[in-house]
């Protein structure tokens, strides 16, 4: 049993925000007890925060590694290590549309990484390749394909972690969505030109998520509500949002947050290899991607993921969207845990859950990350928001 005590700050627990708290961590990496009040040798937070560890359901890469290019245990470990200093204690390595062989390798690699005990890996997000040509974004349409028997078998195979798939509902049947959902696959709508009725039918069939709300989907128009309208009208599906000032206008996100339960949103990074890397520019499936001032774009100006980390997403949600820090923290931890069906083991600070948390200063810059009660050191330049060298 180890004890961590904090004072003079804000500790966001499942039961409310405390000014001082003591966390006892059991040998298995779970929280044995959490109580209000600090011990004599408590850490002075100096007005900073302790929040539950962030869970990112859309991580394409980090530390110079793109998951599609390196679908291995080593690749997953490198991506997780790049994101951990920014408060990410759980993540879904994400495959951008690719061939079935690459998807199979990625799913297998995640199983192997979980078995090997790679910190934080929770499963695999397969974004595509069953997407809409009209809403392809940066995805390569040459890699698009139907949801055929081979791909269904890959997605339905039992795995050690969670399997999440983003698809265009107009390209699949309601029964296919239902089959995936019954098997425990988290089905998300994304890169889709579906109309309102098709999107609503997909939710009824078992889809429970929306990938980067507003981006790469049919918009809300007053006589054609589209996927955006269906998502805002639905009160149950979890909507991922990228709060970086590039993907969606802040006003649109503020309106969305008022339209449905706030706990059904979740912050995502949509991070590319540039996060936690000294060299920012990278290549995505043969396309050079330029990164400048946090914005990732292809040669034609198409957005290509992000240079956003989860601590940055939390700061932006507070500063740009006006959310209270504890709410922003919950959208980065509690909501994604619930979406993945992992709320009984992580996503909040409470007895019985994993001892995953992030310490932030008063400006919400990360100062340290704990995964299973083990501290992950943050380098000084990372605490200032600069890249790892």
The answer to whether 58 touches 243, Cβ cutoff 8 Å, is no
Separation CA 270–CA 242 (nearest Å): 7
Q: In 3D, which of 104, 178, 166, 175 has the Cα closest to residue 135? A: 166
Residues 128 and 141: their CA atoms lie apart, in Å, by 10
Backbone angle region of 292, left / alpha / beta, with phi > 0 → left and psi within -120 to 50 → alpha? beta
- Does an H or E element contain 134, and which? none
Edge-to-edge strand ranges of the sheet holding 374-377: 16-18, 10-13, 49-52, 357-360, 366-371, 374-377
- DSSP class of 171: G
- CB burial class (10 A; 0-12, 13-18, 19+) of residue 17? middle
Euclidean distance between CA atoms 184 and 210, whole angstroms: 16
Per DSSP bridges, beta strands 21-25 and 2-7 are antiparallel
- Is 244 annotated as catalytic? no
Query: Which position among 56, 111, 193, 270 bears the catalytic label?
Result: 270
The contacts of residue 372 (CB under 8 Å, 6+ apart) are 29, 30, 119, 354, 355, 356
148 phi, psi to nearest 5 deg: -85, -175
Separation CA 73–CA 113 (nearest Å): 5
Q: What is the C-alpha separation between 387 and 389, in angstroms, rounded?
A: 6
- Cβ neighbours of residue 213 closer than 8 Å, sequence gap 6 or more: 228, 231, 239, 240, 241, 248, 256, 265
Q: How far is residue 217's CA from residue 228's CA, in Å, rounded to a whole number? A: 7
The answer to whether the bond into 129 is cis (omega within 30° of 0) is yes
Known catalytic residues are 270
């Amino acid at each position: 049993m180890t004890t961590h005590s904090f004072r003079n700050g804000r500790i966001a627990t499942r039961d409310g925000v405390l000014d001082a708290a003591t966390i006892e961590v059991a040998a298995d990496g779970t929280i044995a007890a959490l109580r209000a009040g600090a011990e004599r040798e408590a850490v002075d937070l100096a007005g900073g925060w302790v929040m539950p560890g962030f869970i990112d359901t859309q991580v394409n890469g980090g530390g110079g590694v793109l998951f599609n290019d390196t679908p291995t245990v080593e690749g997953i470990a490198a991506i997780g290590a790049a994101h951990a200093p920014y408060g990410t204690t759980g993540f879904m390595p994400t495959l951008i549309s690719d061939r079935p062989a690459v998807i199979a390798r990625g799913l297998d690699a995640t199983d192997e990484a979980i078995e090997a005990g790679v910190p934080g890996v929770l499963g695999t997000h397969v974004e595509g390749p069953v997407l809409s040509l009209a809403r392809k974004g940066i995805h390569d349409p040459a890699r698009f394909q139907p949801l055929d028997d081979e791909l269904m078998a890959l997605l339905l195979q039992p795995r050690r972690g969670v399997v999440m798939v983003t698809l265009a509902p107009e390209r699949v049947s309601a029964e296919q969505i239902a089959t995936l959902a019954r098997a425990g696959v988290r089905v998300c709508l994304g890169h889709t030109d579906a109309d309102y009725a098709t999107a609503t039918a997909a939710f009824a069939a078992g889809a429970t998520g929306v990938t980067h709300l507003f981006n790469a989907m049919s918009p809300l128009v007053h006589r054609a509500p589209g996927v955006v309208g269906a998502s805002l009208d639905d009160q149950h599906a979890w909507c991922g949002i990228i709060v970086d000032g590039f993907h969606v206008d802040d006003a649109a996100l503020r309106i969305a947050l008022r339209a449905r339960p706030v706990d059904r949103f979740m912050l995502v990074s949509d991070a590319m290899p540039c996060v936690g890397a000294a060299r920012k520019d990278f290549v995505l499936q043969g396309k050079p991607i330029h990164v400048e001032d946090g914005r990732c774009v292809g040669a034609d100006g198409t957005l290509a993921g992000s240079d956003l980390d989860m601590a940055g997403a939390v700061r932006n949600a507070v500063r740009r969207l006006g959310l209270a820090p504890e709410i922003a923290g919950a959208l980065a931890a509690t909501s994604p845990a619930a979406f993945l069906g992992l709320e009984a083991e992580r996503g909040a600070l409470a007895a019985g859950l994993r001892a995953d948390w992030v310490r932030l200063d008063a400006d919400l810059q990360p100062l340290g990350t704990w995964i299973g009660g083990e501290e992950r050191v943050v380098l000084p330049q990372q605490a200032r928001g600069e890249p790892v060298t």
